[in-house]
Structure 1
Amino acid sequence: MHVGVVAQQGDERAVGLAADIAAALDVPVSLDPETASSLGRAGVAPSAMADYGLVVSIGGDGTFLYTARRVGSAPLLGVNLGEVGFLNVVAPEAAVETVTETVEAIRAGEASYRELTRVETSGAGVELPAALNEVAVLGPQRGHGNGVDVEVRVDGETYSRTHADGVIVATPTGSSAYNLSEGGPLVHPDAAGLIVTEMCADGSMPPLVVAPDAAVRVAVSGAETAYAVADGRTRATVDPPAAVTVCASADPVRVTGPELDFFAALEKLK
């Protein structure tokens, strides 16, 4: 068994935890290049960790999203150095013990795994990585008098035609992220479905939860340009009139280790 560790860049605490985890395990451990360099070791790119038995992400949710985009189907465990930690379940003071126990469970064939839905895009020449939180289709600029004309269809049926800053298609995991900030609903991580939320729309329809295998088509027009953005980090240009279809990816994120206490995490949002 091989374990990978990806730590938040520029964070000394994350580097220290990575070193402690590597020292505690009796299996081969590889660190991401920047963390390894800080410790005087040779590193391994996260994209080369796809066949590892476990990859540990140390940092905030952004580090977890970064890692998830690169390690394919390798099981993930997140150590939380951020504020809320919907993706990183393990507290830093419990990191070494929890990772050690998780490795032992995997080696004994006793580990449990959970799959988190990702969404992917097609159409309009858009090429984006699968997103764990959401895909947003946005106008060129936010605010009154800007935005873009949108038509939202679900499995070919028209749900909405309006002018909006954009449209978010989120996963249950991402319901507490960008979706929530734009007035979308919280969805328990054990629930299935995709969430469609319009952003500052004229005469907007309420947010809609659709089937997990639904295809959400967002057509944009009335602007010189628009964008499709995956997890707030990777952006592709869309040239209106055009349509982007968002649906669940066939490749979910696999996580292991302790389960999220969803309602305890919600308390941190207050």
Structure 2
Amino acid sequence: MNVGIVAQRGNERAATLAGRLRETLRDEEATVRIDAATAERLDTDGVDVSRMAENDLVVSIGGDGTFLFAASGAKGTPILGVNLGEVGFLNAVTPEDAVGEVRTVVETYRESGEIPSQEVPRLRATGEGEWSVHPALNEIVVQGAQRGHGQGLDYEVRVHGVRYSEGHADGVLVSTPTGSTAYNLGEGGPLVHPSVNGLVLTEMCGTDPMPPLVFELGYEVEIRVTNAPFAVVGSDGTQARIDPPETVTISLASEPARIAGPSPNFFEALSKLD
């Protein structure tokens, strides 16, 4: 069995736990691949996060940001999240339970050849120009070069082929249920329970915006961007530059992300947002 480990960069506690898990997995005769930054702290060989998809399981140690970083390379490989952060919408395993939970997952894999996991949707963005961003577990954002008065972009939004809104705003955001508690919430979008099969569209500081919209998971969103020196398309924090006028199409990615281990307690995590 091949297991990848991605730990929060610059976090000594995360690196120490990564070292403990590496020794545990070696005792279980598993092959361990550690992300390059963490491997350097442990004085061992590491791999780029983009290679995490070569494993049977990926263990993320840190907060939700570390989980998103691990997911960018894991693709469809199940990810087990160990929570060292404050909230933990994606990480359900405590540091104290990490070794035991990883052992349980390894044993399950050896007995059945599978790792039980929950599938969660991801989004992809395509456009007319030659740009690309990795599929987003949280959100796709289309925004102007800068935010604030006199900045932003002009836009038209079509949902499932029908015009929904147009105007001027700092940007437009499309979120999964998983991402509804992240950037979407900060922009005034609604909380969406993980069990809801829908997406959220939120206009960011629009001059005359429509209310945030929750719509069918399979619907495409087309965002026509005009009247801006340039714009950026962001996917879970990574960005690609586009030159308006251009239409960005946002749709469901063909491959979901997979979360292994116990399901995070959504309502308990919400109580930590204040």
For residue 86 of structure 2, the aligned residue among 77, 83, 88 is 83
- TM superposition shift of 1:28: 2.3
Matches within 5 A, 1:8-47: 8-25=8-25, 26=28, 27-47=30-50
CA displacement, residues 58-117 of structure 1 (integer Å, 9 cap, x when unaligned): 111111111111122211001111111111111112111111112212222274211111
Residues 22, 32 of structure 2: 8 Å contact kept? yes
C-alpha change, 1:223 and 1:45, in structure 2 (3 Å) is: closer
Whole-Å separation in 2 of the counterparts to 1:268 and 1:136: 25
Q: Does 2:113 match 1:103?
A: no
Deviation at 1:47, TM superposition (A): 2.6
The answer to whether the 8 A contact 1:124-1:239 is kept is: no
In the TM superposition, what is the alpha-carbon distance from 1:144 to its structure 2 partner?
A: 1.9
Q: Distance in 2 between matches of 1:255 and 1:209?
A: 23
Between 219-228 and 152-161, report the one with greater CA deviation: 219-228
Residue in 2 that maps onto 1:211: 216
TM-score, normalization: structure 2? 0.94
SS at match of 1:97: helix
Partners of 1:94 and 1:135 lie apart in 2 by 33
Equivalents in 2 of 1:146, 1:6: separation in Å? 37
CA distance in 1, matches of 2:126, 2:115: 35
Task: Please tell me whether residue 153 in structure 1 is matched to residue 147 in structure 2.
Answer: no
- Whole-Å Cα distance in 1 between the matches of residues 148 and 225 of structure 2? 17
Output the amino acid matched with 1:192.
N
* Number of residue pairs aligned between Structure 1 and Structure 2: 269
Structure 2 letter corresponding to 1:118: R
Is 2:239 the partner of 1:229? Answer: no
CA contact (8 A) 2:78 2:115 kept: no
Change (3 A) 1:213 1:21: same
1:65 corresponds in structure 2 to 68
3-state SS of the aligned residue for 2:70? helix
* Corresponding residue number in structure 2 for 1:6: 6
**RMSD over aligned Cα, in angstroms?**
1.3
C-alpha distance in 2 between matches for 1:45 and 1:225: 31
Is 2:30 aligned against 1:56?
A: no
In the alignment, what sits opposite 1:268? 272
Residue segments in structure 1 that go unaligned for 5+ positions in a row: none
1:167 to 167, 172, 182: 172
Residue from 169, 179, 183 that aligns with 1:178: 183
Please say if residues 124 and 238 of structure 1, whose CA atoms lie closer than 8 Å, have aligned partners that are also in contact. Answer: no
Given that residues 52 and 70 in structure 2 are in contact (C-alpha distance below 8 angstroms), is that contact kept between their aligned partners in structure 1?
no
**8 Å CA contact retained: 1:60, 1:81:** yes
59-68 or 22-31: which moved more? 22-31
Question: Secondary structure of 2:155's match?
Answer: strand
How far has the Cα of 1:45 moved from its partner? 2.7
**Does the Cα contact within 8 Å between 1:148 and 1:165 map onto a contact in 2?**
yes
> How far did 1:155 drift?
1.5
Q: Select 2:204's aligned residue among 190, 199, 202.
A: 199
Q: 1:255 aligns with which of 236, 256, 259?
A: 259
What is the one-letter code of the residue matched to 1:241?
A: P
Q: Distance in 1 between matches of 2:240 and 2:46?
A: 30
Please identify, of 222-231 and 31-40, the stretch whose mean Cα deviation from structure 2 is larger.
Answer: 31-40
Give 2:210's aligned amino acid.
M
Aligned partner letter, 1:240? P
SS of the aligned residue for 2:44 comes to: coil
Tell me if structure 1 keeps the 8 A contact 2:60–2:66: yes
Cα separation, 2, equivalents of 1:148 and 1:39? 46
Give the letter aligned to residue 23 of structure 1.
E
Alignment of 1:115-130 (within 5 A): 115-125=119-129, 126-130=131-135
- Alpha-carbon deviations, 1:199-239, whole Å to 9, x = none? 1111210000111111100111122211111112x111121
Paired residue secondary structure (2:54): coil
Give % identity: 52
